[in-house]
Amino acid sequence: MNTPGNDIRLTDELERQLMMQAIEEQFRFKPMVALKGLVAKVATLFPASKKASPQTAHTAS
């Protein structure tokens, strides 16, 4: 009779743990990622700013 060894159970348990961690990580709220997305959306509302051109100084003569 062929019985599975302890290493198979450990491997299966490790796989279950890794899958549960991956699922939890997928649904965990990440504030910095959310903030980055918000800033990107707000930036699309404004036109790209032109490069600041040096203003020429007018002197009164």
Query: What's the token pair of residue 7?
Result: 């290493």
Cut 0.75: pTM above it: no
Query: What's the token pair of residue 18?
Result: 């890794």
Alpha helices in the chain (DSSP H): 6-27, 31-45
What's the total number of domains in the chain? Answer: 1
Angstrom distance (rounded) from CA 5 to CA 24: 29
Residue 20 has pLDDT above 60, yes or no: yes
Mean pLDDT confidence for 19-37: 90
Share of the chain above pLDDT 90, in %: 31
DSSP 8-state class, residue 38: H
Q: Is residue 58 part of a domain?
A: no
What's the pLDDT score for residue 8? 62
What's the pLDDT score for residue 52? 54
Tokens 């299966």 map to which residue? 12
Q: Show the domain range for 10.
A: 6-44
